[in-house]
Amino acid sequence: MDDKEFSSMLEKSVEMRNRQLNPGDELTGRVVGESAEDFFVDYGGKSEALLPKDEAEEGTATGSVVRVRVRRISPDGTIYLAGRISRQSVDKSAIRMAYESGMPVQGRVLESRKGGYSVELGPKIRAFCPISQIDDQFTSDPLVHMDKTYWFKILEFSDTGDIVVSRRAYLRDEKEKKKEELLKTLQPGQVLEGTVSRIMDYGAFVDIGGIEGLLHVSQISWDQVNPHEVLEEGQKVRVKVTDMEHRGDTLRISLSMKVLEKDPWETFGELEEGAILEGEVMRIKPFGAFIRLAPGVEGLLHISEMAWHRVSRVEDLLSVGDRVKVKVLSADPDSKRISLSLREVQGAPEGEIAEGAQVDGIVNEVKSFGLLVTLPGGKVGLLPKRERGAVNPANAFKEGQPIRVLVMSVDEENGRISLTTADKKDLMDDQDYRKFAPKKEDKLATLGDFLADLKKDR
């Protein structure tokens, strides 16, 4: 409440001062001091009125502006105020005033009865609270409220003694008050304490004072987490308001817990290329696997870096939860990307594939342009279709079929091996062939090119 609004209300209170005050009259004033038991309220009268602390709203302190009712006036003219009615000094007239003004009343849950609870508001004053009105959330165990003292709002009142109260209505009103006060100051960047109210697969809703904000799963921690495993309903959490978006009459508030913690990339240290680290397989994709190296720090192990032989499916080698040792190929802290290799840690397979070697392999894949052959040690070479003459590889070979081949050329830099059929080995021994055989930089030359060059020389 700003000073202008307070001044307006104070003027009305001054008007009230000029006539006789009666119990139940509404006043607005400012708390100007306090004792051990009371607040002193300046409402514009000749002297301050007393507001007992147990009948003041939560959060009341010196300087607070309060809207209260005249509770009673003592014979010496002292005015006693109330913002709510406590059990210590309640009577039927106070209950009627609370009902008419909407002030909360204090009550103790005595016993469970059919459809609800019996609530003691004061000596010989009982009320009924329906079970649906005892809380603002579903009550699965009615006994949890037994012998508890709560604040209630009176829904029904009659001179015959029938009183119906609701704690749910009181909680709703309190949340609205807190919401109105919070919205006056709430802005992105604020750090608040909230209570986890609901947990979903995609995150959690946090009550930050009468308003719920969304704490997305990606904002809970720098690490990959399951909201159901790291949060509990009712848990107190510190959150930062990251965004406020108005959509019509709806205000959407985005919250974050992880921004209040240091970025793990800053504390993980510099990664050097070639470093060997141990990590855990967190997620598997068709193109590779993500390896957790530290909380909030992951690297990509591409499928091509898993083994020296061809890997068709990541799942054939790795499973989520596996612990693996990997080698850092590259690291970019600015973009938070790390490239990893598993096969580099394992080392290259024994047995070098040399030019001119005759080896036995297995047909890995049959393509329209030739055969991909797995060689000893896991390396893969290409036997082009043109090296099979008129024979169509798709008709003559099947995946998994053994085949003997001759290594035509090896390009270590690009990882390419060119093959031909083993029945042409005699040509490899010919000095003229060695003279004109394709060099490493002439990677696309074939046996057909060689024969054409040999015919020209003759």
183 alpha carbon, distance to own chain's centre: 24
Global confidence as pTM: 0.53
Residue whose tokens read 């919250």:
255
Higher pLDDT pick, 158 / 161: 158
- For the domain covering 92-171, report its CATH number: 2.40.50.140
Higher pLDDT pick, 178 / 443: 178
Please state the rounded mean pLDDT for residues 23-52.
90
pLDDT of residue 152: 96
**Euclidean distance between CA atoms 395 and 372, whole angstroms:** 15
**Euclidean distance between CA atoms 325 and 303, whole angstroms:** 15
What phi and psi values does residue 332 have, to the nearest 5 degrees?
A: -130, 90
User: In this predicted model, what pLDDT tens digit does every residue of 163-210 receive, in sequence order?
Assistant: 999 999 999 998 888 888 888 889 999 999 999 999 999 999 999 988
pLDDT of residue 452: 53
Indicate whether 435 pLDDT > 70: no
Please state the rounded mean pLDDT for residues 57-86.
89
CB 97 within 8 A of CB 74: no
- For the domain covering 270-346, report its CATH number: 2.40.50.140
For the record, the structure tokens of 31 come out as 């708390």
Please state the rounded mean pLDDT for residues 276-294.
92
Ranking 77-86, 144-153, 426-435 by mean pLDDT, the lowest is 426-435
What phi and psi values does residue 67 have, to the nearest 5 degrees?
A: -110, 120
For the record, the structure tokens of 172 come out as 């709703």
User: In this predicted model, what pLDDT tens digit does every residue of 95-105 receive, in sequence order?
Assistant: 888 998 889 99
pLDDT of residue 62: 92
Burial of 405 from C-beta contacts in 10 A (0-12 / 13-18 / 19+): buried
Indicate whether 431 pLDDT > 50: no
**Euclidean distance between CA atoms 71 and 50, whole angstroms:** 10
- For the domain covering 3-83, report its CATH number: 2.40.50.140
Residue whose tokens read 């008129």:
390
User: In this predicted model, what pLDDT tens digit does every residue of 76-91 receive, in sequence order?
Assistant: 888 999 888 888 778 8
**Euclidean distance between CA atoms 121 and 148, whole angstroms:** 12
> What is the overall mean pLDDT for the chain?
83
pLDDT of residue 391: 55
pLDDT of residue 339: 93
pLDDT of residue 167: 96
Please state the rounded mean pLDDT for residues 246-264.
88
- For the domain covering 186-260, report its CATH number: 2.40.50.140
Residue whose tokens read 């990251």:
242
**Euclidean distance between CA atoms 62 and 41, whole angstroms:** 9
For the record, the structure tokens of 234 come out as 């009712």
Query: Which string of b and e fits 216-228 if b means at least 16 CB within 10 Å?
Result: ebebbbbeeeebe
Indicate whether 310 pLDDT > 80: no
pLDDT of residue 422: 65
DSSP-assigned letter for residue 265: H
Indicate whether 454 pLDDT > 60: no
User: What are the sequence ranges of the domains in the chain?
Assistant: 3-83, 92-171, 186-260, 270-346, 358-457
pLDDT of residue 438: 44
Domain 358-457 in this protein, CATH class? mainly beta
Please state the rounded mean pLDDT for residues 134-156.
91
Among 83, 86, 89, 87, which Cα is nearest to 101's?
83
pLDDT of residue 46: 83
Number of alpha carbons in the 13 Å side-chain half-sphere of residue 345: 18
Fold identical between 3-83 and 270-346?
Answer: yes
Indicate whether 430 pLDDT > 60: no
Indicate whether 426 pLDDT > 80: no
CB 258 within 8 A of CB 219: yes
